[in-house]
């Protein structure tokens, strides 16, 4: 047999092998190209009848790209979404309800409140990224504070921030986010409201309550804290923290590895976010996370579920955790994984997650998130009366409910 004929036979053989396979496409944010190829190979080895295509999206353009694909009728089969996006996409018919599937794994994973909207389940909680409080041990020591006993209440944080801020003109007590979407309200302001037993919307999600007493008290405290704060984008605050200029900083686990790598001289730790008072409130955090949904345009639901079940598995989810250090699996009992014993800072985020609260499942969540950025910036950057700010935005939120 000539080489030419042999090559043709091989090509025909490969074509026959691929023919009949079901192709499932996954659009996701968390896995880079290297990890995607590893996961694809592992999945296809275990599922030879399914061809897996994994596409990585960026946070800058991913939302719009998903919207565009849906409008064009070319949506992927499986979509990773930030948990604050789920209600918006579910309300627009983008996702397929999965109540007929979740019973298979309901008891194996946590954070199902990420994927519930109007009494239906629209996806599967995949990865967790709560916020906690970073603190610089050296600055606490220089300010006469106990590095082994970081602030646990709002007043302790305010007093500690004032002492650290007094150390010098380039030293700040605390960092508070402004100047960009999401982080100004996610990193602490809204969690502080929740921790103060407040809410910006009623339990039935029909009435805005931004002008309620717990929210007003929180806003006043936030403004008082800004007297000792460096204000800026999250990346700017992370850089200042790494350079030893910030006493306290609120963020997700992503900055552990980054700070240790880029600023090895900075000695820091992570602890629970302070609560309002010793006997009032709790250490609330923002429950950031990733969910996996099945597109309403998906024609192979059984195969799509096979892919999701694989991605949810502890083996794959911990691969992502070990690679990125930014998220944790939703698998029940994941804290027993040996990786967390050797990564105590990351383990603190698992403890913080017990107090994490997700954004309410509102169809107009994306627009309300943008309003919250404006709210925080008016509190921190203007002298307007707190009650007037909250009343103004309370009406705007009410109009979106």
Domain range list for the chain: 23-130+287-357, 132-272+362-400
What share of the chain in percent tops pLDDT 90? 81
pLDDT (tens digit, 9 = 90+) per residue, 72-121? 888 999 999 988 889 988 988 889 999 999 888 999 999 998 899 999 99
30 backbone φψ class: left, alpha, beta (φ>0; ψ -120 to 50): alpha
pLDDT at res. 4: 61
Are the C-beta atoms of residues 187 and 243 closer than 8 Å to each other? Answer: no
User: CATH fold of 132-272+362-400, please?
Assistant: D-Maltodextrin-Binding Protein; domain 2 (3.40.190)
Tell me whether domains 23-130+287-357 and 132-272+362-400 share a fold: yes
Are the C-beta atoms of residues 11 and 37 closer than 8 Å to each other? Answer: no
55: three-class secondary structure by DSSP? strand
Note the CATH architecture for domain 23-130+287-357.
Answer: 3-Layer(aba) Sandwich (3.40)
pLDDT (tens digit, 9 = 90+) per residue, 283-295? 999 998 899 999 9
The model's pTM is 0.86
- Rounded to a whole number of angstroms, the distance between the first and last alpha carbons of the chain is 72
pLDDT (tens digit, 9 = 90+) per residue, 202-236? 999 999 999 999 999 999 999 999 999 999 999 99
Q: 392 versus 72: which is more confidently predicted?
A: 392
Strands 132-136 vs 246-251: parallel, antiparallel or unpaired: antiparallel
The DSSP annotation for 121-137 comes to E-SEEEEEEE-EEEEEH
- How far is residue 82's CA from residue 320's CA, in Å, rounded to a whole number? 16
Q: 187-205 in b/e burial notation, b at 16+ Cβ within 10 A?
A: bbbbbbbbbbebbbbeeee
Both tokens of residue 328? 């944790």
């Amino acid at each position: 047999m000539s080489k030419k004929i042999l090559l043709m036979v091989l090509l025909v053989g490969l074509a026959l092998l691929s023919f009949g396979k079901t192709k499932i496409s996954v659009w996701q944010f968390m896995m880079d190209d290297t990890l995607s190829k590893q996961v694809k190979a592992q999945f296809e080895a275990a599922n030879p009848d399914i061809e897996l295509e994994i596409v990585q999206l960026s946070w800058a353009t991913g939302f719009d790209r998903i919207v565009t694909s849906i409008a064009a009728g070319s949506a992927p089969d499986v979509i990773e979404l930030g948990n604050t996006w789920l209600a918006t996409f579910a309300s627009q018919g983008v996702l397929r309800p999965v109540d007929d599937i979740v019973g298979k794994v309901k008891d194996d994973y946590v954070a199902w409140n990420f994927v519930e909207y109007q009494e239906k389940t629209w996806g599967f909680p995949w990865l967790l990224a709560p916020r906690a409080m970073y603190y610089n041990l050296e600055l606490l020591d220089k300010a006469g504070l106990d590095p082994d006993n970081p602030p646990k209440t709002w007043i302790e944080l305010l007093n500690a921030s004032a002492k650290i801020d007094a150390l010098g003109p380039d030293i700040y007590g605390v960092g508070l986010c402004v100047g960009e979407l999401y982080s100004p309200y996610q990193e602490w302001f809204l969690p502080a409201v929740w921790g103060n037993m407040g809410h910006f919307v009623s339990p039935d999600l029909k009435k805005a309550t931004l002008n309620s007493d717990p929210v007003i008290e929180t806003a006043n405290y936030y403004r008082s804290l800004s007297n000792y704060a460096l204000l800026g984008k999250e990346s700017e605050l992370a850089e200042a923290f790494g350079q030893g200029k910030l006493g306290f900083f609120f963020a997700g686990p992503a900055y552990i590895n980054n700070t240790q790598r880029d600023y090895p001289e900075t000695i820091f730790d992570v602890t629970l976010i302070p609560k309002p008072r010793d006997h009032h409130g709790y250490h609330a955090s923002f429950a950031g996370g990733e969910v996996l949904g099945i597109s309403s345009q998906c024609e192979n639901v059984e195969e799509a579920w096979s892919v999701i079940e694989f991605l949810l598995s502890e083996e794959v989810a911990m691969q992502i955790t070990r690679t990125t250090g930014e998220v944790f699996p939703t698998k029940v009992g994941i804290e027993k994984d040996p990786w967390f014993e050797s990564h105590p800072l990351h383990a603190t985020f698992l403890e913080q997650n017990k107090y994490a609260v997700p954004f309410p499942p509102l169809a107009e969540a994306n627009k309300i998130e943008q309003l919250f950025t404006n709210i925080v910036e008016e509190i921190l950057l203007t002298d307007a009366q707190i009650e007037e700010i909250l009343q103004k935005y309370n009406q705007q939120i009410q109009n979106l409910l």
